[in-house]
Amino acid sequence: MPFLSRVSLPPLQGNGYLQNIPSLNNGLQLALKSNVTFFVGENGSGKSTLLEGIAEQCGFSLRGGNHNLNTGYRFEGYESALAQHIQLSWTPRRINEGFFMRAESFFNFASYIDELAVDNRRILNAYGGKSLHEQSHGESFLSLFNNHFDNGIYILDEPEAALSPARILAFISVIHQLEQSGRAQFLIATHSPMLICYPGATICQFNEDGVVETSYEDTEHFQLTKSFLDNPALYLRHLMDK
């Protein structure tokens, strides 16, 4: 049973860019029924916008990183345009531990950890014992998952950007260990057809008319990747003959 159990958004008034996102502008009621939820959809369909709004309502900084680490780092007001409209429901209670991370902000996060480590080298123990800048993108990402994830809610935007297919499987196993402990919840925006196969996950598809639940077999990510890999030559011939 997840901690964060519902995300509510009223229909959006006004005429900013939020009102032009078709998946979100009519409002939504998202029931989070499992400990692992994926957001999938076309580029620009609103996944990061919603994820960032949720992360900010959870109390995480959008610069990425751990809630506690960032307490000296807080900002005034909301960074995400959507956050002020979002309401979260928690069952049985609100939790504050966890993490928000975008693959593209990982470099800045690594620098921030290095700065903290100047005064306290032991901080690096939580990240595999050495600076995240001295590890490859995927190595450092996984050492973060392996060493730092524990109890809490983990909100991740495209974690697969750092990971080879083998490391995606390793990541799936880390998610499984934490999820089974009943103390961790994951909300992940992704384009990875492998990641979304996670058993029992809820998959939210961002469409032209809202956000709907689907199965991994019914996503375009899964179907197109599978049929492409079944016969790449066929697809490529078709594309290049034009």
Ligand X SMILES: Nc1ncnc2c1ncn2[C@@H]1O[C@H](COP(=O)(O)OP(=O)(O)OP(=O)(O)O)[C@@H](O)[C@H]1O
DSSP helix, strand, coil percent of the chain (3-state; round to 5): 45, 20, 35
Q: Partners of 189 in the beta sheet? A: 39, 157
Work out whether 17 is an interface residue with ligand X (CB under 6 A): yes
* Burial (Cβ within 10 Å: 0-12, 13-18, ≥19) of residue 98: buried
**210: which strand partners?**
207
- The stretch near ligand X (CB under 6 A) out of 25-33, 40-48, 70-78, 114-122 is 40-48
Among 43, 93, 165, 238, binds ligand X (CB under 6 A): 43
The yes or no reply on residue 103 touching ligand X (CB under 6 A) is no
Residue 14's binding partner, choosing from Mg ion, ligand X, none, with beta-carbon cut-off 5 to 8 A by kind? none
Among Mg ion, ligand X, none, the one that 41 touches (CB under a kind-dependent 5 to 8 A) is ligand X
Using CB atoms within 10 Å of the CB of residue 20, give its burial: 0 to 12 exposed, 13 to 18 middle, 19+ buried.
exposed
- CB closer to ligand X, 157 vs 179: 157
Asked if 41 touches ligand X (CB under 6 A), the answer is yes
DSSP per position, 32-54: --SSEEEEEESTTSSHHHHHHHH
Q: How far is the CB of 143 from ligand X (least distance, A)?
A: 25
Under rule CB under 6 A, residue 49 binds ligand X = yes
Number of C-beta neighbours around residue 75 at 10 A:
11
Closer by beta carbon to ligand X, 43 or else 120: 43
Which of 45, 70, 135, 214 contacts ligand X by CB under 6 A? 45
